[in-house]
């Protein structure tokens, strides 16, 4: 981890957490960009768009053939709760109802934060979108670090948001500890100064 000396030392990781959430909506990436230019960020929602759902003539979804099959104003959504091959929709909502979940296990936020700090974040563009720049991690690196999601080529919003929230909570706890320690040190320093001042008074007469 980098600077642990105080709250200011964590500003870089707050930016990294924001980056994770920003690039997470269904992005399918490889180390050089997307897989042959066949995928995009899915930034959009729950209502299906075109009558064909964004499929091409062979029935392949937008996450396979590319978001260009989606009509204007709609985005390619893939991953829970959307089909893996993608569907066109205005916005990509996340399925997060507690009644749909099981096997809940507590998360070690400090371990998540440490992994986030080591996650490589770069500036890049998709191969078929050379003029559109993005900043974020590679999906394969994210999958290797956290072991979540259905496909190592995809970072879904539900997983990126979960990682970000766990890291933020851990960061908050660390900052609180540092603030408490700083306050204690200031109190101790003030006490020592008072004692030193009392001892010096007789010598100054």
Tens of pLDDT, residues 149-164: 888 988 888 899 999 9
pLDDT of residue 59: 64
- Note the pLDDT of residue 55: 58
Distance CA 4, CA 178 (A): 9
Highest mean pLDDT among 95-99, 181-185, 195-199: 181-185
**Does residue 124 form part of some domain?**
yes
Q: How far apart are CA 156 and CA 95, in angstroms?
A: 11
Q: Is residue 32 part of a domain?
A: yes
In the prediction, which pLDDT does 43 show? 34
Given this model, what pLDDT does residue 154 score? Answer: 82
Q: Are 112 and 167 in contact (CB under 8 A)?
A: yes
> What total of structural domains would you count in the chain?
1
Is position 70 within any domain?
A: no
In a domain? residue 90: no
Q: What is the pLDDT of residue 58?
A: 57
Ranges 42-51, 134-143, 158-167: which has the least confidence: 42-51
Sign of CA dihedral 144, 125, 1, 168: negative
pLDDT over threshold 90, residue 7: no
Please give the Cα distance from 11 to 101 (Å, whole number): 33
* Tokens encoding 74: 């709609």
Q: Is residue 20 assigned to a domain?
A: yes
Predicted TM-score (pTM) of this structure: 0.61
**Could you give phi then psi for residue 194, rounded to 5 degrees?**
-65, -45
Within-domain flag for 102: no
- With respect to residue 88, please indicate whether it lies within any of the assigned structural domains: no
Give residue-wise pLDDT tens across range 94-140: 778 888 889 999 999 999 999 999 999 999 998 888 898 999 999 99
Higher pLDDT, 135 or 19: 135
Confidence of residue 62 (pLDDT cuts 50, 70, 90): confident
Is 130 within the bounds of a domain?
A: yes
Which domain, by its residues, includes 190?
A: 10-43+107-204
- Report how far residue 25's alpha carbon sits from residue 19's, in angstroms, rounded to the nearest whole number: 11
């Amino acid at each position: 981890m980098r600077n642990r000396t105080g709250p200011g030392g964590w500003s870089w990781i707050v930016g990294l957490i924001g980056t994770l959430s920003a690039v997470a909506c269904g992005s399918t990436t490889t180390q050089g960009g997307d897989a042959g230019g066949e995928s995009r960020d899915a930034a959009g929602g729950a209502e299906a768009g075109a009558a064909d759902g964004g499929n091409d003539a062979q029935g392949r979804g937008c996450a396979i053939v590319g978001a260009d099959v989606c009509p204007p104003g709609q985005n390619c959504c893939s991953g829970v709760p959307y089909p893996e091959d993608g569907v066109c929709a205005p916005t990509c909502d996340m399925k997060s109802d507690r009644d749909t979940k099981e096997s809940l296990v507590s998360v070690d936020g400090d371990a998540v934060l440490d992994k986030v700090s080591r996650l490589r974040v770069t500036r890049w563009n998709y191969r078929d979108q050379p003029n559109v720049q993005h900043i974020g991690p590679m999906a394969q690196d994210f999958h290797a670090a956290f072991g979540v999601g259905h496909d190592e080529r995809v970072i879904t919003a539900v997983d990126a948001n979960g990682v970000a929230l766990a890291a933020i909570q851990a960061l908050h706890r660390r900052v609180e500890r540092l603030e408490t320690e700083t306050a204690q040190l200031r109190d101790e320093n003030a006490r020592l100064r008072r004692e030193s001042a009392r001892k010096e008074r007789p010598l100054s007469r």
